[in-house]
Structure 1
Amino acid sequence: MILIADSGTSKTDWRVIHRDGRISQHRGVGFNPYYMTAEEMAIQMRHDFLVNLEHEIEEIYYYGAGCSAPDRKAEVSQALRTIFSKATIHVDHDLSAAARATCGHKPGIACILGTGSNSCDYDGSSIIATRPAAGYILGDEGGGCYVGRKFLTDFIHEEMPEKIRESAIERFHITQNIIQDHVYRQPFPSRYMASFCRFISENKSDPYCYGLFYNSFKDFFAKHVCKYDDYRNKPVNFVGSIAYFNSDILRKAAADTGITVNIIIESPIAGLTLYHQELL
Structure 2
Amino acid sequence: MKLLVDSGSTKADWIAIDTNGKVLFTTQSLGLNPEVLTKEEIIARLDDKFDISHNKDKAAHLFFYGAGCGTDRMKNFLTDVFKDYFKNASVNVYEDTYAAVFATTPKNQEAIVCILGTGSNCSYFDGHILHQKVQSLGYIAMDDCSGNRFGRHLLRGYYFNKMPANLATEFEKEFDVEPDAVKENLYKKPNPNAYLATYAKFLIKHKNTEFCQ
Structure-2-length-normalised TM-score? 0.92
Which residue is equivalent to 2:37?
A: 36
CA distance in structure 2 between the partners assigned to 1:98 and 1:36 by the alignment: 23
Q: Deviations over 1:112-164 (max 9, x none)?
A: 11111111001122113432312111111011110000000011111012111
Contact kept in structure 2, 1:6 and 1:14, CA below 8 Å: yes
Which residue is equivalent to 2:209?
A: 206
Contact kept in structure 1, 2:143 and 2:149, CA below 8 Å: yes
Unaligned ranges ≥5, structure 1: 212-280
Relative CO higher for 1 or 2, CA cutoff 8 Å, sep ≥ 6? 1
Contact kept in structure 1, 2:9 and 2:31, CA below 8 Å: yes
Which residue is equivalent to 1:178?
A: 181
Q: How many residues align?
A: 210
CA distance in structure 1 between the partners assigned to 2:186 and 2:127 by the alignment: 39
Which residue is equivalent to 1:27?
A: 28
Q: Which stretches of structure 1, 4 residues or more, deviate above 3 A after TM superposition?
A: none
Question: CA, structure 1 residues 47+82, in 2 after alignment: closer, same or farther (shift >3 Å)?
Answer: farther
RMSD: 1.6
Contact kept in structure 2, 1:145 and 1:194, CA below 8 Å: yes
Q: Does 1:70 align with 2:72?
A: yes
Question: CA, structure 1 residues 185+84, in 2 after alignment: closer, same or farther (shift >3 Å)?
Answer: closer
Question: CA, structure 1 residues 128+182, in 2 after alignment: closer, same or farther (shift >3 Å)?
Answer: closer
SS at match of 1:193: helix
Contact kept in structure 2, 1:110 and 1:122, CA below 8 Å: yes
Unaligned ranges ≥5, structure 2: none
Cα drift, residue 75 of structure 1:
1.6
Q: Does 1:187 align with 2:190?
A: yes
Identity of counterpart residues, as a percentage?
29
Greater mean deviation of Cα atoms: 113-122 or 50-59: 50-59
Amino acid at match of 2:204: S
Q: Does 1:156 align with 2:195?
A: no
Which residue is equivalent to 1:7?
A: 7
Structure-1-length-normalised TM-score? 0.71
Q: Deviations over 1:192-250 (max 9, x none)?
A: 110011122111122222x2xxxxxxxxxxxxxxxxxxxxxxxxxxxxxxxxxxxxxxx
Which residue is equivalent to 2:92?
A: 90
Which residue is equivalent to 1:99?
A: 101
- Give 1 or 2: higher helix fraction: 1
Cα drift, residue 175 of structure 1:
2.7
Amino acid at match of 2:210: P
CA distance in structure 1 between the partners assigned to 2:17 and 2:72 by the alignment: 27
CA distance in structure 1 between the partners assigned to 2:138 and 2:96 by the alignment: 14
Amino acid at match of 1:30: G
CA distance in structure 2 between the partners assigned to 1:165 and 1:104 by the alignment: 46
Question: CA, structure 1 residues 36+173, in 2 after alignment: closer, same or farther (shift >3 Å)?
Answer: closer
Cα drift, residue 20 of structure 1:
4.8
